[in-house]
Amino acid sequence: MIMSIKSPEYAQRRTQLMQQMQPNSVAILYAAPVVKRSYCLDYPYRPNSDFYYLSGFNEPEAVLVMIPGRKNGEFVVFCREKNQAQELWHGKRLGLQGVMNELGANEALPIGDIDQILPNLIAGKDALYYAFADGSYINAQINKWLTKVKKNAYAPTKFIDLEDLLHEMRVRKSSTEIALMQKAADISADAHIKAMQNCQVGMYEYQLEAILEHHFKQNGAKFCAYNSIVAAGNNACTLHYTDNNCVIDDNDLILIDAGCELDCYASDVTRTFPANGKFTSEQLALYDVVLQANLAAIDCIKPGISFDLPHQISVEIITEGLLELGILQGDKEQLIQQGAYKDFYMHRVSHWLGLDVHDVGSYREQQNHQNWRNLEVAMVLTIEPGIYIAADNQQVAPKWRGIGIRIEDDIVVTPNGCQVLTNKVPKDPKQIELLMQGK
């Protein structure tokens, strides 16, 4: 269930990009570098998301060049050549011929020749697109090529951030991407179910983590989309807790925020459940507030609403809930105005989801950056309200302390509303208790 490297969708994306580029321009995009982990060893390779989005190519030491209107072909790729010795140690490479055949490059050239050949491809162009965020290495490369071009030709004088165009394209997902994300969400949902079913008081958090990640890999998801958070008791109040090395106590709630990455597409799922299979009344009271916020925020999602609306709804429900439980005191509207909820709910309810877990793309209108943008069909976002009351919070009654709750789902905007990709894993407290009791 991965997208074939030969999928015509990659070429369609390149065409869509080139149609938006200025006349007489060229775009250059580098593959992600290999990153060293220690001494002789590297981190597992993960392609740059933009690079993968345009090519499906997952080798390092490669450069995509897109030149709209070029007679000899618009898509040129620099890549590693075939090399028997290197491939014996490190695995197969596509090589020049493979890049032509599989990737559909019009021309494939050895990466070692880029400094000689690339200046010819940018000579006489008006504008050069590249990813500004790629930083010092690409800046140095570009300066080197420009210096070379200027010796005997006209060099581009206009430099445009390639990410602006690409990231806007990535905000709306194709049906292939949505199908992939559904698959990733299904694997993650099943992993969360397994964690609930196999949780035992006295286990270490990392043992639950192992259950989740075993399921990811067992189902073809090689990587986690982000470092798994398995937080028992007060650890759940650390928003990005990843130590996962504590023993799970009897009355702990466990917050698991973990999702697999499938073919580079992320899922992002959080569930919170009682270690011993039964919520205490305090845990349940707070849980219900978060669940109502999650459900109401999802319920409002449809094309045309502001990206900010689900957040405002979650703020209102959480403030109201904290008021009812006596954790906040005062006038609801005033408390919302003052942001009193931020002591307990300090993050926003949503982010984009896609090739990156906090996916790229603006949250604001292009015309007016003051305004939140409106949701459109095929956008994918998370909904993840939470309440966190740390053990050392002296402002609230002791019975509420040491409880952290978040409930997070992945949502696709559809023409009539939305579709929840992560519905498979229960979030109703009764259903969670029944599941944990083996029913």
**How many chain residues are in contact with Mn ion, going by CB under 5 A?**
2
Q: How far is the CB of 349 from Mn ion (least distance, A)?
A: 10
Phi, psi of 279 (to 5 degrees): -70, 140
Q: Which residue is nearest to Mn ion (CB)?
A: 268
Question: C-alpha 398: how far from its chain's center?
Answer: 36
Residue 58 or 382 with smaller CB distance to Mn ion = 382
Residue 232 or 266 with smaller CB distance to Mn ion = 266
Q: How far is the CB of 258 from Mn ion (least distance, A)?
A: 11
Residue 31 or 266 with smaller CB distance to Mn ion = 266
Give the residue from 43, 134, 45, 137 showing the smallest Cα distance to 93.
45
Residues 145, 65 contacting (CB under 8 angstroms): no
Residue type, 29: L
Residue 314 or 382 with smaller CB distance to Mn ion = 382
Q: How far is the CB of 127 from Mn ion (least distance, A)?
A: 36
Residues 84, 119 contacting (CB under 8 angstroms): no
- Give the x-and-dash track for 378-417 against Mn ion (CB under 5 A): ----x-----------------------------------
Does residue 268 touch Mn ion according to CB under 5 A? yes
Residue 186 or 268 with smaller CB distance to Mn ion = 268
Residues in the chain: 439
- DSSP letter at 204 equals B
Q: How far is the CB of 185 from Mn ion (least distance, A)?
A: 12
Give the residue from 422, 356, 4 showing the smallest Cα distance to 184.
422
Residue 104 or 385 with smaller CB distance to Mn ion = 385
Q: How far is the CB of 268 from Mn ion (least distance, A)?
A: 4
- 45: how many CB neighbours lie within 10 A of its CB? 15
Of 10-18, 132-140, 170-178, 265-273, which part binds Mn ion (CB under 5 A)? 265-273
What is the enclosing helix (H) or strand (E) of 64? strand 63-66
C-alpha to C-alpha distance for 115 and 391, rounded to whole angstroms: 58
Q: How far is the CB of 195 from Mn ion (least distance, A)?
A: 17
- DSSP letter at 277 equals S
Q: How far is the CB of 184 from Mn ion (least distance, A)?
A: 13
- DSSP letter at 408 equals B
DSSP characters over 79-124: EPPP-HHHHHHH----HHHHHHHTT--SEEEEGGGHHHHHHHHHTT
Question: C-alpha 102: how far from its chain's center?
Answer: 27
Are β-strands 63-66 and 127-130 bridged in parallel, bridged antiparallel, or unpaired? Answer: unpaired
200-229 residues in contact with Mn ion (CB under 5 A) are none
Give the residue from 195, 25, 55, 259 showing the smallest Cα distance to 126.
25
Question: C-alpha 14: how far from its chain's center?
Answer: 22
Q: How far is the CB of 309 from Mn ion (least distance, A)?
A: 18
Residue 18 or 187 with smaller CB distance to Mn ion = 187
Residue 252 or 268 with smaller CB distance to Mn ion = 268
What are the strands, taking DSSP E only, across 319-408? 380-383, 386-389, 403-406
Residue 134 or 384 with smaller CB distance to Mn ion = 384
Residue type, 370: Q
Residue 141 or 270 with smaller CB distance to Mn ion = 270
Q: How far is the CB of 351 from Mn ion (least distance, A)?
A: 6
Residue 319 or 382 with smaller CB distance to Mn ion = 382
Of 181-189, 198-206, 263-271, 333-341, which part binds Mn ion (CB under 5 A)? 263-271
Of 147-155, 261-269, 282-290, 426-434, which part binds Mn ion (CB under 5 A)? 261-269
Of 232-240, 267-275, 277-285, 289-297, which part binds Mn ion (CB under 5 A)? 267-275
Q: How far is the CB of 311 from Mn ion (least distance, A)?
A: 13
Token readout for 279 is 């919520």
Q: How far is the CB of 242 from Mn ion (least distance, A)?
A: 14
C-alpha to C-alpha distance for 19 and 255, rounded to whole angstroms: 46
364-383 residues in contact with Mn ion (CB under 5 A) are 382
Does residue 261 touch Mn ion according to CB under 5 A? no
Residues that bind Mn ion in the complex, under the rule CB under 5 A: 268, 382
